[in-house]
Structure 1
Amino acid sequence: MVTKHLARLQFATAGPAVEGEWTVPGTAQDRYTEWVGLYGSKPNVVIQLIEEADGRRRVRKTWTDQGETEGPAT
């Protein structure tokens, strides 16, 4: 089983996304942190750190202009 680690950036909640995928979790975490610094204060932006294994995705962190939450956005 290969686990993938993803960082996902959307400028609008239901809009298109930019997504990066890595096998090393630290690389995805670094990109997530970078995107939060660059875009995290903009309204409607959603940034997620995601883990994927066996075709199933698990959202680890979500950042919006309201701040960070663990798990999926509410």
Structure 2
Amino acid sequence: MTRHLARLQFRAGGPAVEGEWTAPATAQERYTEWVGLYGTDPAVVIQLVEESDGHETVRKTWTAQGEVEGPGT
């Protein structure tokens, strides 16, 4: 089963707040919402993640510098 996650960290490497859904569109909506709410904070990292069979793939990463598609820091 594939899980779709939106992950929010208020500092890189810090604790994360996550939401998990089976529908990718729902995870994308939450990711977009968090970018709008927290995306200008220079310390915040927001990720859209796909997890399947214990393996995570980062689809998008947002920092105050903008969005990166694919694996990000």
Q: TM-score, normalised by structure 2?
A: 0.96
Question: What is the distance in 1 between the residues matched to 2:72 and 2:56?
Answer: 14
Residue identity over aligned pairs, in percent, reads 74
2:15 maps to which residue? 16
1:41 maps to which residue? 40
Stretches of structure 1 that go unaligned for 5 or more consecutive residues are none
Number of residue equivalences: 73
Stretches of structure 2 that go unaligned for 5 or more consecutive residues are none
Write the letter of the residue equivalent to 2:32.
T
Question: What is the distance in 1 between the residues matched to 2:6 and 2:55?
Answer: 15
Question: What is the distance in 2 between the residues matched to 1:51 and 1:26?
Answer: 12
Write the letter of the residue equivalent to 1:5.
H
2:60 maps to which residue? 61
C-alpha deviation, 1:72, in angstroms: 2.1
SS in 2 for 1:15: coil
C-alpha deviation, 1:22, in angstroms: 0.2
Q: TM-score, normalised by structure 1?
A: 0.95
The RMSD of aligned alpha carbons is: 0.7
Question: What is the distance in 1 between the residues matched to 2:17 and 2:4?
Answer: 14
* Runs of 4+ off more than 6 Å: none
